[in-house]
Amino acid sequence: MFVGPVSKKLIAVVAGVLIAGGPTLLFNYWLDDLILEQTREDIDSTTRRSITMAENHMITAMNGLDELTKRGVDSCTPDNIEAMRRANLDYSGVAEFSIVDPNGRTLCSDLGVALRHRIVLSTEGVVDSSILLDVMVVDDKAGRMLRLRRPGATNSIAALIPGDLLITKVSSQGGLLLNAHGRVATSDGTVVATVGPVSEFGDPFDTMVVSTLSSHRFGLTVTMTRPLSVLTRGQEEIRFLGNTVMGVFAAALFAIAFLVPWRQRNNPVTELERALKAGEFVPFYQPVVNITTGQLIGCEVLMRWRKSDGTILPPASFIPLAESSGLIMEMTRSLMRKVTHELGPVCQARPNLRVGFNLAAEHFGSNSIVEDVRKIFEHSPVRLSQVMLEVTERQPLDNLGQARRVVSALQDLGVKIAIDDIGAGHSGLSYILKLGVDIIKIDKMFVDALGTDSSSTAIIETLVDLARNMDIEIIAEGVETFEQVIALREHGIQAVQGYVFAPPLPGPSFLRLLEATEHQPKGESDQPDDAHSGFGFGYLSSRRRASAA
């Protein structure tokens, strides 16, 4: 019987698969055990790092309490508040030192007043070096925190540690714990902080406890879990690659030639690298307006991904991956270079126009951002004094000492440093004191609550007073109504940004708006609008003209 070439190839492929089946099966068993062991080692290492980090933060807080106790700090006198403020600067990781009465009520803090009402979720005594220490889990709008207090007959000193600082967010290999859920809790089971909500991984019964460690000294327990289903998917992907390698040589070569390019095309990091090389990440500009004069005084530069087909993707769809992959550094440099070319002439003609860029926590881990800013702006039309760099409070800075050195070096260049999203995270007020920033940007959630939430109004008033006393500028973000504009102006805030003025605009649209605001018809900016209390209605007329153009 004649067997054609195609049939011979098919027979050879089938025979090769059968011959390779035995070694492939053994390979898969070995691969399963290897993946499971590596996963356990990774989670165990992450758990050990978390419990060590939690103990170190608590020891730091105790040292601060000991120092203040030796100084006799037990009341809210100005000298005692100043002593607590100095201690806050000296002991990194402590969000607040405060004076509390025997019932646990906060009388004052290192900021002079207690800014938030806190709910005590649990209290337990821990004996450390024969000294009784009260460890309390408290909750406020910033999230759960751990409060340490040495109880006394009268007032006592307490230290507040943000819960997020008590558990690590990265694995031992430095990758984000996207497939793991971790939590730190007190001995009575009260949860202080979590990483990776279980709800993201599906059925909570489909998980296994990989590692649990306890701090016998402070009564804290760190638990890390990982879903079995996620582990199985990872095994299947690697097993698929292993089976391909173990196949028939001719079939394996064909599979590699087909699969490798396919995997590269579908690798999101590879796609980001391709887009970065193609210049697809472009700047959009959201205007910052002086609501007293109606002038456009600057902008915040926001990155957008303009794909080859014209689709524009928002930053939430690619910035997290850019940060975890390390590409955010080069993307920031590329964005800054594009801004110098696009806004260079207008910035050169308007020395008071300020341009703000967002930085990630990774930028403050070394001095490379200082050299990048120097090289890009030192001889560009955009002066260093016109550059504002924003560090978000939503991402904690792991090393405040290193961050402070980077901030100082940038300020020496003439660059302004701002804290973005102030009040939305756990360390904003601490950042103001420890980083020495020039500008704070009030988060949108406080602007939205103006006039309806007395706590938000009180916080804004406190921030305005604090900024005035420390000679710090304020910008309000997320302003969407004229009622908010009026309320902010009444609180003494001049610089604002938000959709009430304009969304983030592409370069040409922003340039037209800037030109229109400076060449509005005579008298237009001088005619106050009754509904807007003279905020400078000419800006809106300019925006309409720019849009029509």
List strand residue ranges (DSSP E) for 371-415, in order: 387-392
pLDDT for 520: 58
Q: What are phi and psi of 546, to 5 degrees?
A: -65, -40
Give the model's pLDDT for residue 2.
36
Q: Which CATH architecture has domain 275-506?
A: Alpha-Beta Barrel (3.20)
Q: What is the residue extent of each domain of the chain?
A: 5-31+232-265, 34-231, 275-506
| pLDDT reported for residue 352 | 94
pTM: 0.52
Q: State the residue for tokens 């978000």.
A: 392
- Spatial contact of 488 and 479, defined as CB atoms under 8 Å apart: yes
Place of tokens 């009465």: 101
Task: Please report, for residues 20, 231, 257, 315, 546, the alpha-carbon distance to residue 15 in angstroms, rounded to integers and kept in the order given.
Answer: 8, 32, 21, 51, 71
Instruction: For residue 146, give the nearest of 162, 131, 157 by alpha carbon.
Output: 162
User: Under DSSP, is residue 303 helix (H, G, I), strand (E, B) or coil?
Assistant: strand
Would you state the pLDDT for residue 276?
A: 94
DSSP assignment of 162-194 equals EGGGGS-SB-TTS-B-TT-EEEEEETT--EEEE
**pLDDT tens digits for the chain (549 residues)?**
434 344 444 555 555 555 555 666 777 677 667 767 777 777 888 888 888 888 898 889 989 998 998 888 888 899 999 999 999 888 888 888 988 888 778 888 888 766 566 788 877 877 665 567 788 888 877 788 888 887 766 888 999 998 888 888 776 655 555 467 888 998 888 999 888 766 555 555 555 657 888 888 888 999 888 765 555 455 456 656 666 666 654 455 444 444 444 445 568 889 999 999 999 999 999 999 999 988 999 999 999 999 999 999 999 889 889 988 889 999 999 999 999 999 999 999 999 999 999 998 889 888 999 999 999 999 999 999 999 999 876 677 878 889 999 999 999 999 999 988 776 654 556 777 788 899 999 888 888 888 777 877 888 888 888 888 889 999 999 999 999 999 999 999 999 999 999 999 999 999 999 988 876 555 554 444 444 444 544 565 566 665 555
Q: Is the separation of the CB atoms in 97 and 159 below 8 Å?
A: yes
What confidence score (pLDDT) does residue 527 get?
Answer: 43
Contact present, 110 and 87 (Cβ < 8 Å): yes
